[in-house]
Amino acid sequence: MKLFSRTDKSFLGRWWWTVDRGLISAFMVLVVFGIVLITTASPPVARHLGLGEYHFLIRHLIMLVPALGIMFFTSMLEKRQVWRLASLGLIGALLAMIIVLATGMEIKGAQRWIHIFGFSLQPSEFAKPCFVIVAAWLMSLQKTRENFQGNYYAAGLYLFVVTLLLLQPDLGMTFIVTCCWAAQIFLAGFPFRLLLAFGGLGIVGLITAYFSFHHVHSRINRFLDPESGDNFQVEKSLEAFQNGGFLGAGPGQGSVKLHLPDAHADFIFSVAGEELGLVFILVIVLVFGFILLRGYNRLMESDDMFTVLGAGGLLTMFGLQALVHMGSALNLLPAKGMTLPFISYGGSSVLSMGFAMGAVLALTRKQKRSGVSKGGLSHSLKAGRRIGKM
């Protein structure tokens, strides 16, 4: 099927031939998996909450429309439009987070949500990718512009975002944002000893969290010593995988979704394991791995620092979030509620992932080779990389 001819010079034609269609396909695969899994996982959860059987499924499907719209829209933007949009988004999200903190209601011990059109939105979800893009832009600008202290601005911005997150408190998001920023610093070429220093600070931060937040304290204790307390969700999750076995109990046949109130969101990987078995789990892991490797590989070909830092940070966020979700379900990491990108239910997370991956697609689009000097440069760099690789 040829949607657009190679010589098509229209806007969509150019988009089609420059965007990474492999990544788009992989995202769509995840979206389809997500619909399937939410279809089986969410009705019991909805019934427990006294909602209609397909409450979550319908909302998920509704949310997918703007999420995919945002992804495709963002993927068509020019780079500078991407960071402009991200800047605006960041400002809006940070303002919303402040408003939530000031007025928001508390759900499950944290102030995170804002209610619009019957949907609860979580501004911090949007702040996350926007911050990554803006930080990337600030740091890359330092490299191209003299006397511009982009790194310091980025650091200041980081501290501001993290402060807002800790006030909610939302440690999971703090962790992700920190890791993304660390990855960006790493990519930006900071010396290892500085990174080690940051790592040390991170550990200090974790220890502080351990002693200052009760739920972190108990959760880590429970991870380190399962006998010490209530490990219900993790126990159920492990049972789910054991029940699932190689081929799974069959679609709809699982019982973990009946036990876990977050089966459709934070434990959807367990539902997948129980109903569809090891084979399907491995497929999911492979798809995530494919997206990451393909994305990073695409960055190798880029000669633009903003692209490397921005898309690198966003891909790290994507991969890390999946890693924490799957790791929690498999009890490799302390239980941490985190959605599985594009699969889990969660309006804000789906929308923000749509934007983040749209941005990755936009940044990794193949560049027009109009300028002779630019073309020559990218050419020489490519050659250099090939030699370096060998």
285 binds another protein (CB under 8 A): yes
Which span sits near another protein by CB under 8 A: 51-59, 155-163, 299-307, 351-359?
299-307
Angle at which helices 192-212 and 214-224 pack, to 10 degrees?
100
Instruction: Report the alpha-carbon distance of residue 182 to residue 201 in Å, rounded.
Output: 11
In the complex, the smallest distance separating the C-beta of residue 277 from another protein, rounded to whole angstroms, is 6
Residue 345 near residue 265, CB atoms below 8 Å: yes
Cβ atoms within 10 A of the Cβ of 108, count? 10
Residue with Cβ nearer another protein (114 or 136):
136
Q: Which of 141, 164, 177, 359 binds another protein (CB under 8 A)?
A: 141
In the complex, the smallest distance separating the C-beta of residue 83 from another protein, rounded to whole angstroms, is 10
**SS3 of residue 52 by DSSP:** coil
Residue closest to 310 by CA, chosen among 265, 375, 355, 262:
355
246 binds another protein (CB under 8 A): yes
In the complex, the smallest distance separating the C-beta of residue 298 from another protein, rounded to whole angstroms, is 10
312 binds another protein (CB under 8 A): yes
Amino acid present at 201: L
334 binds another protein (CB under 8 A): no
273 binds another protein (CB under 8 A): yes
Chain centroid offset of residue 113 CA: 18
Q: Which of 104, 129, 277, 310 binds another protein (CB under 8 A)?
A: 277
Which span sits near another protein by CB under 8 A: 34-42, 208-216, 350-358, 382-390?
382-390
Look up residue 249 and give its DSSP letter: S
Amino acid present at 102: A
Q: Which of 123, 129, 169, 319 binds another protein (CB under 8 A)?
A: 319
Residue with Cβ nearer another protein (8 or 303):
303
Q: Which of residues 170-189 bind another protein (CB under 8 A)?
A: 183, 186-189
The answer, yes or no, to whether the previous bond of 43 is cis (omega within 30 of 0) is no
289 binds another protein (CB under 8 A): yes
293 binds another protein (CB under 8 A): yes
117 binds another protein (CB under 8 A): no
Q: Which of residues 196-235 bind another protein (CB under 8 A)?
A: 226-227, 230, 232, 235
Alpha helices in the chain (DSSP H): 11-18, 21-48, 55-75, 79-103, 123-144, 150-167, 171-187, 192-212, 214-224, 232-244, 256-259, 268-300, 305-329, 347-363, 372-389
Instruction: Report the alpha-carbon distance of residue 382 to residue 386 in Å, rounded.
Output: 6
Residue with Cβ nearer another protein (212 or 228):
228
Which residue is listed with tokens 């998996």? 33
Which residues contact residue 253 at a Cβ distance below 8 angstroms, ignoring those fewer than 6 apart? 274, 275
Q: Which of 32, 62, 377, 383 binds another protein (CB under 8 A)?
A: 377
DSSP string, 277-294: HHHHHHHHHHHHHHHHHH
Binding residues for another protein, rule: CB under 8 A, are: 44, 47-48, 80, 141, 143-146, 148, 183, 186-189, 226-227, 230, 232, 235-236, 238-239, 241-246, 255, 258-259, 261, 273, 277-278, 281-282, 285, 288-289, 292-293, 296-297, 299-300, 303, 305, 308-309, 312, 316, 319, 323, 326-327, 330, 332, 377, 381, 384-385, 388
